[in-house]
Amino acid sequence: MSGALNTPGYSALTTGAGLVDLSARGRIRVTGEDRARLLHAMCTNHVQQMKPGDGLYAFFLNAQGRIQADAFILCFEDHFLLDTEPETRQPLFEHLDRFIIADDVTLEDISADTVCFSLEGPQAAEFVAAAALPAPNHRHSHIDQAGVTSAAIHGIRLYAAAALRDSIVNALEAAGAVAASAEDAERARLKAFRPRYGVDITESTLPQETQQMHALHFQKGCYLGQEIVERIRSRGHVNKQLMGFRLEGHAVPAAGASLFGGGKEVGEVTSAAESPDGSVYGLAYVRLPYNKPGSVAGIDGRPAELFEPLI
């Protein structure tokens, strides 16, 4: 079983450069004089200090501080690009549109007219350069060249008009990139502790529960849901946190499976997948104080070692 899982795509994602088609994700273009002010007031990160070429990761909250969507935000000379999950494309568009009152802001869903690819793995930047495409190296930053935007997101993420799909794929594969399936990408993201909205993060999740602290800026001023985020920070902790786990064996626990520690239930699995190394990697919410990296919890009667994000 483990040998069958070690596909060329997964091997490329972990040791070389794997090519993942992310075109199903949502892409929203935001223009107008008030675009930075609106986005700044609507998300958890500092949009107003962004300059063209900058990028960041942020949450969009409701008034109760619960996460409605997450997105990578890229700043261009005349617009912002929001890159979000397929399931939150329309809800995020409507959420932002609802708060445009007298603002000079225009939202445009460009998902159908554009493509997005991710080149992931330790050789991603090298392969992008070999394909004569720009390769940014500062986290979330981006470079534009010949109609292609390259962003440093989980490797290199490429955005372009749909007409350029074949030329991008051909150039990257000629440079040595290997196509990776959705299953390959899922195994890689869990091993790397990259939570996904709609699976590991939901509309009931609080930002600090996710451990994605790079999505939060605590000196930016007011935004929707800030009061709850600040209350959690002043209190010092949340009651549970998302943790990674590694489980020996091939059986994959189902979403919703319980974690046990100290003789009682202490958490719940959100996602998991078998890895070619003969173990299972997954994510789970674990209640304090059982959320310590390196500690062991029980899942389906087996010991699971907990770990935290690398960054």
Number of domains in the chain: 1
pLDDT in tens, 229-284: 999 999 878 999 999 999 998 899 999 999 999 999 999 999 999 999 899 999 99
Does residue 193 lie within any of the structural domains? no
pLDDT in tens, 147-179: 999 999 999 999 999 999 999 999 999 999 999
Does residue 128 lie within any of the structural domains? yes
pLDDT in tens, 30-58: 999 999 999 999 999 999 999 999 999 99
Does residue 114 lie within any of the structural domains? yes
Does residue 26 lie within any of the structural domains? yes
Which letter, b or e, does each residue of 90-124 get, where b requires 16 or more Cβ atoms within 10 Å of its Cβ? ebbbebbeeeeeeeebebeeebeebbbbbbbbebb
Whole-number pLDDT of residue 2? 57
- Please, are residues 240 and 287 in contact by the beta-carbon 8 Å criterion? yes
Does residue 200 lie within any of the structural domains? no
Does residue 219 lie within any of the structural domains? no
H-helix or E-strand spanning residue 303 = strand 302-307
Average pLDDT, the chain: 96
Does residue 22 lie within any of the structural domains? yes
Does residue 92 lie within any of the structural domains? yes
Tell me, what CATH number does 41's domain have? 3.30.1360.120
pLDDT in tens, 53-81: 999 999 999 999 999 999 999 999 999 99
The domain of 75 spans 18-176
